[in-house]
Amino acid sequence: MKRKVIFIIVVGLFVAFTAKLTAQQVHDISVDAGSPLFEIQPVMWGVFFEDINFAADGGVYGELVKNRSFEFTHPMTGWEQVRQNAIGRVVPTFYSPANHNNPHYVVVHADAAKGAFGISNQGFRGMGIRKDNLYNLSVNARISSGSGIRMKAELISSDGTVIGTSEILDLTRDWKKHEATMTSSATDPSAKLQLLFMGLGSVDLDMVSLFPADTWKGRPGGLRKDLVQMIADLKPGFLRFPGGCIVEGRNLENRYQWKLTTGPVEERKLITNRWNSEMRNRPAPDYFQSFGLGFYEYFLMAEDMGAEPLPILNCGMSCQFNAGEVVPLNELQPYIQDALDLIEFANGPVTSKWGALRASMGHPESFNLRYLGVGNEQWEQQYIERYRLFEKEIRLKYPEIKIVSGSGPYASGAYFDLAWTELRKLDPALIDEHYYMAPEWFLNNAGRYDNYDRSGIKVFAGEYAAHGKEGPAPESRNTWLSALTEAAFMTGLERNADVVHMASYAPLLAHVDAWQWRPDLIWFDNLNVIGTPNYYVQKLFSTHRGTHVIPALKDGDPLTGQDSLYVSAVTDKASSMIYVKIVNVSGETKQLRLNFSGASLQKDAEMETLKARGLYDYNSIANPKNIYPFTRPVTVSGKKLQLGIEASSVNVLKLSVRK
Ligand code: AHR
């Protein structure tokens, strides 16, 4: 017993002693608000949108019907026959001369003097339907034989209950767009749409479409509100679209062609989404691009969010990880013309050919396009040779456009070095760098840009994410560890904002039941959307962007991992705020004493913190706020502030400058 008491006392003393030692390790950091080092671009923190993981069709694009125009490789994908005490046949048919881009339709032969026969659509892994919400249905239809046939639309819940209904009685012998509305009596993440026919005869059907009435900005046929809001909440400086590898295509035929994504939606020609079969372990044979979310809609989305549009165009090369097709240099002109025409589409007067198209779609005003990317993730001389030709012609006609070039898929190595060497001889405004690396890489690279040429081409950190441990749950790769290490790295991007002008995490969105790639910034299902810890890290930086970088130094050096601490500081001239980002990647609390100069500070300040219980914790649809920022007040004493920075935490200290 006596020995036990002595042991407890010794352990107690040891704990007290080490706690005291830890408390004594105070890091003195000087923050000089009076010496702004350089400006931070308003576009610094943006978003990378690619139609991967069902981000567009089945995601942001509000359409609930999958394969609405029967153009998938198998025209009945997503559709099933429905027999209600009646029989019939459904015949996919080719070719509707009325629409060359969308030639398929189906003929429904109904033998339903009693009962009903029809088809149902399963949506994108089900349809997310909400109680008391209004849904807009539209169907192109004509009676091809028989008469007196009636059509009824129904929303069916996953247990087979009718939760919404509407009748279309005026079917005619000519093609006509029929519209109806339905209000749902229940919420269901996996509902179906059913079109039923009563009577004897045949009806031709095309473009069967169902949208929630409540879309982003209330636009008919618009975007899913909760998803766009989640992106908009980041206050992104730019919106990069449409990718990603989707720009390149698996082969050239499969490349993204912006012109095919404009004009009336029913005339936009659908293509296979390249992520349909890209990932052998995650096949998605029902993944196509309807282009309902096309270039016009991307520009609108950027404008709505106050983000600069940053379209990326194919440079005459398909994905080098796939077919690697390359357009001969003497046949590249149509590709370059696409780029010139896109600038006219975005900015040209309504009297110009492409400006007139923009106006006809509802936006006579310019979209003020200032950035344009040429090529996504290309490498070797093949890219440089093609990039050079694009640059020459864009410069000649539109010298004001900032051209974004690329350094390939890797963060270093031969392709990367060759791209930088060759592009330095040319005149891009920015070079896009990609890094999908282990969490440790992000910790070790917080100083990556410290030695970049300050007067050279600027960097667009266009795709990055820490790729680490993963578990069976889709969201499980978005661990706290990945977010924490990205935050540490991002202090380096911010500290070097004179070199790094733009940055975006990638990819942006993923459907939990239909993903191909992870981790991703935002996960969603048919009714819910959640921010990952990585999302909240991005948000902490992008919503506390500031206007100028200011020095935050320990013993004259920036903190790039010394004693597991990463620090960067900015001032916001417009709001007279100072934001200090402090990342502690160690497993213990660190004591910091911040010594401010160059500004007198208000006593009352705040600190917003993001942390988790464990490094492998993550947010999920079931537990969306497992890792979520919280704010606490802190008090500045004169020009000093002593803070305990919690273990494994990301923090933004917010200080008001006295005017
Ligand atoms: O973000 C996912 C993919 O990663 C992008 O499509 C591509 O550019 C990169 O390889």
Residue whose Cα lies nearest atom 2 of ligand 1: it is 507
Residue 377 a catalytic site member: yes
In this prediction, residue 608 has a pLDDT band, given cuts at 50, 70 and 90, of: very high
User: Tens digit of pLDDT for each residue in 411-425?
Assistant: 999 999 999 999 999
The architecture CATH gives domain 79-212: Sandwich (2.60)
The architecture CATH gives domain 47-62+215-477+484-545: Alpha-Beta Barrel (3.20)
Residue pair 594/641 in contact (Cβ under 8 Å)? The answer is: yes
User: Tens digit of pLDDT for each residue in 319-338?
Assistant: 999 999 999 999 999 999 99
In the chain, CATH 2.60.40.1180 covers 23-40+550-656
pLDDT: which is higher, 335 or 97: 335
| Least confident residue range of 4-8, 259-263, 564-568 | 4-8
Mean pLDDT of the chain: 95
Residue pair 652/581 in contact (Cβ under 8 Å)? The answer is: yes
What pLDDT is attached to residue 13?
35
What pLDDT is attached to residue 97?
65
| Least confident residue range of 5-19, 377-391, 535-549 | 5-19
User: Which residue among the candidates 71, 248, 297, 377 is catalytic per the annotation?
Assistant: 377
Please say if the pLDDT value at position 8 is more than 80. no
- Tokens representing 190? 């996996």
Residue pair 391/340 in contact (Cβ under 8 Å)? The answer is: no
In the chain, CATH 2.60.120.260 covers 79-212
Specify the pairing of strand 509-511 against strand 522-524. parallel
Please say if the pLDDT value at position 22 is more than 50. no
What pLDDT is attached to residue 96?
66
Domain 23-40+550-656: state its class: mainly beta
Residue pair 272/254 in contact (Cβ under 8 Å)? The answer is: yes
What pLDDT is attached to residue 455?
96
Residue 659 CA, ligand 1 centroid: distance in Å = 46
What pLDDT is attached to residue 10?
37
Residue 467 CA, ligand 1 centroid: distance in Å = 13
Question: Which numbered atom of ligand 1 lies nearest the CA of 506?
Answer: 1
Q: How far is CA 607 from CA 33, 642, 654, in A?
A: 18, 12, 6
Residue 524 CA, ligand 1 centroid: distance in Å = 19
Please say if the pLDDT value at position 6 is more than 90. no
pLDDT: which is higher, 253 or 100: 253
Please say if the pLDDT value at position 593 is more than 50. yes
Residue pair 101/267 in contact (Cβ under 8 Å)? The answer is: yes
Q: How many Cβ atoms from other residues are within 10 Å of residue 434's Cβ?
A: 22
What pLDDT is attached to residue 306?
98
What pLDDT is attached to residue 15?
40
In the chain, CATH 3.20.20.80 covers 47-62+215-477+484-545
pTM: 0.95
d(CA 107, CA 416): 54
Pocket (CB within 6 angstroms of ligand 1): 50, 52, 243-245, 376-377, 409, 463, 506-507, 517
Q: How many Cβ atoms from other residues are within 10 Å of residue 148's Cβ?
A: 10
Please say if the pLDDT value at position 7 is more than 70. no
Residue whose structure tokens are 């031709």: 204
User: Tens digit of pLDDT for each residue in 353-386?
Assistant: 999 999 999 999 999 999 999 999 999 999 999 9
What pLDDT is attached to residue 20?
42
Residue whose Cα lies nearest atom 5 of ligand 1: it is 244
Question: Which numbered atom of ligand 1 lies nearest the CA of 517?
Answer: 2
In this prediction, residue 100 has a pLDDT band, given cuts at 50, 70 and 90, of: confident
Residue 214 CA, ligand 1 centroid: distance in Å = 32
Question: Which numbered atom of ligand 1 lies nearest the CA of 245?
Answer: 6
Ligand 1 mutation target, pool 275, 463, 509, 521, most atoms within 8 A of CB: 463
Ligand 1 mutation target, pool 377, 416, 516, most atoms within 8 A of CB: 377
- Percent of the chain predicted with pLDDT > 90: 94
Residue 48 CA, ligand 1 centroid: distance in Å = 10
**Which amino acid appears at position 544 of this protein?**
H
User: Tens digit of pLDDT for each residue in 282-324?
Assistant: 999 999 999 999 999 999 999 999 999 999 999 999 999 999 9
Residue-level length of the chain: 659
495: Cβ contacts below 8 Å, ≥ 6 apart: 449, 450, 549, 558, 568
The whole-number average pLDDT for the span 390-403 is: 98
What pLDDT is attached to residue 651?
98
d(CA 426, CA 473): 45
Q: How far is CA 542 from CA 236, 368, 410, 612, in A?
A: 7, 22, 25, 21
User: Tens digit of pLDDT for each residue in 220-230?
Assistant: 999 999 999 99
In this prediction, residue 94 has a pLDDT band, given cuts at 50, 70 and 90, of: confident
Secondary structure, 3-state, 340-359: HHHHHHHHCCCCCHHHHHHH
